[in-house]
A = this chain, B = another copy of it.
Amino acid sequence: MELTVAEENYLKAIYHLSDAGKKSVSTNDLAAEMKNKPASVSDMLRRLGEKEVIEYRKYYGLQITEAGKRLALQTIRKHRLWEVFLVEKLNFAWDEVHEVAEQLEHIHSPLLIQRLDAYLNFPKFDPHGDPIPDEFGDVRSRPRVELAEMEINQTGQIVAVKDSSAAFLRYLDKVGAYIGARIKILDKVEFDGSLEILVDQKKNLFMSKEVAGNILVLQS
């Protein structure tokens, strides 16, 4: 019971939306995420239900099954391993990898992924700081908070970003807010939630609440 590329993409989106706290993933949410019409989504949900990767009761909503979760995590694993490859081996910038990884994640070959993983030295996180599931789908996630939630004088290290769009990542590159950077909150403006932070003990950086809300920090 193999999934098609479209099915894999839907399942991945369902997994991400479920994971992001959304109690019940709605047809409209999925349509927005997939940039398709709700009618098309309904149809796909029926098919995914038949393949038993989700449990679907029409008009009521859906839940991803254990089998579905396993498949979604496999796809996510492949996506993130390829992103590491592109950045570490082929010198892609972290804002250039997404679309290519989006294609590479659908290549079917257990051997390929096994070998790629070994070649990359079994990385645990991708270039955006997201954890790479192991071959059994287990994820080692780190406790992390949004930079926007931190208070004055707190310190930590940037470990991930929530938005992987090229525009956002290029902005972070420009201001030096890369993954691994050590940061300290110097000031926080009540009015708009904007922050002044110290990066790597040397650079002062002003940042809007929107930006800070998309940066995840491991507190120290």
Contacts and interface: CB of A to CB of B under 8 A. Distances in A.
Nearest to A115: B90
A115 B116 CA distance: 17
B100 A116 contact: no
A3 to B, nearest CB: 15
Contacts of A116: 90
Interface residues of A, number: 18
A107 B105 CA distance: 10
Interface string A74-91: 000000000000100111
Given A86-B112, A90-B112, 16 more contacts: A89-B119, A90-B115, A90-B119, A91-B115, A92-B111, A92-B115, A96-B111, A100-B107, A100-B111, A100-B112, A103-B107, A103-B108, A103-B109, A104-B104, A104-B107, A107-B107
